[in-house]
Amino acid sequence: MDIWHRVAFNADVKPDFKRTVDALGIKYGISPLPGHVIGLVYFDISESDPRWEQVRELARTEGASDMFDTIFTPEEIVAAEWVRLRPNFEQGFPQPKEGEWWRITYEDYCEECGAGYRQKTPFRFAKEPRLGKHDFLCLYWTYTAFCTPQVLQVLQAHQVRGYEVWPAVMHRTGELSQVVSQLVVSVVAGSGLVDIDRQQPETCPRCGITKYAYHKRGYMHLRRESLRPDTDIQLTAEWFGSGGHAGFREILISNALARLILENEWHGVALKPVELV
């Protein structure tokens, strides 16, 4: 397990930061910015890197962007009884983009905090997605898992439990996607998030649901008795996404399903082991 950071800064505004990055021998990319000579410098660095402490202090004092996440090894993933499945290949927006797509797709959706919903109809796409080498896809603004027919065949062959297959619908024509289908999870675990992971709680004044901060550092901890043993996929009882107007439940998958994803080298999702207490 290691914590990786994506650091970004405007090199024209912060030239000393760039000189330090150059001196440290850190490889970086550059995104041009209108009216700037150099542009936005960005790079990835892990906390195990001996240069990290100097970069962290510079990022703090210079006000650079610093986004981080935990990356687990395959050995750590297969050692866990339950694993969070995090969709990380996003493409396309739910339709109608300019309308209230959530009213069409969800029921019990809280317009104040974006939580509390259940999906009632299939998502609508603007066009067929282009997956490239990805096997899973998530729509922007949503926390969804769409997958290819090949993935579905493997799941069915191994009798994976706990999901329904819903079509993806082309918004303009009503035709069904030939590229992806959605894995819809209806099983919800009991409340089991331990106190240490109940970060930045926000209780909605309208619906009363409490959301917690997106979990990024280390293992998420859940009470063993809160999880259903008769399924391979379930949702957390808790909602996440504090600080915004969107909420989601984490997708939990069994060790057997996590192994399938690793063995088949499927792309488009990240696997984050859960520690049970």
Question: 85 pairs with which residues across the strands?
Answer: 251, 271
Phi-psi region of 124 (alpha: psi -120 to 50; beta: other; left: phi over 0): beta
Residue-range domain boundaries for the chain: 2-71, 75-276
Task: Write out pLDDT tens, residues 220-262.
Answer: 999 999 999 999 999 999 999 977 778 999 999 999 999 999 9
Indicate if the pLDDT at residue 98 is higher than 90: no
Measured from the Cβ of residue 219, the count of other Cβ atoms closer than 10 Å reads 18
Of 271, 262, 214, 216, nearest to 82 (Cα)?
271
Please determine, looking at this structure, whether the domain spanning 2-71 carries the CATH number 3.30.70.
yes
Task: Provide the whole-model pTM.
Answer: 0.91
Cβ-contact 4, 42 below 8 angstroms = no
- Spatial distance between the Cα atoms of 74 and 261, rounded to a whole number of angstroms: 11
Q: How far apart are the first and last CA of the chain?
A: 19
Indicate if the pLDDT at residue 127 is higher than 80: yes
Quick one: tokens of 123?
Answer: 């998502």
Task: Write out pLDDT tens, residues 4-17.
Answer: 999 999 999 999 99
Measured from the Cβ of residue 90, the count of other Cβ atoms closer than 10 Å reads 14
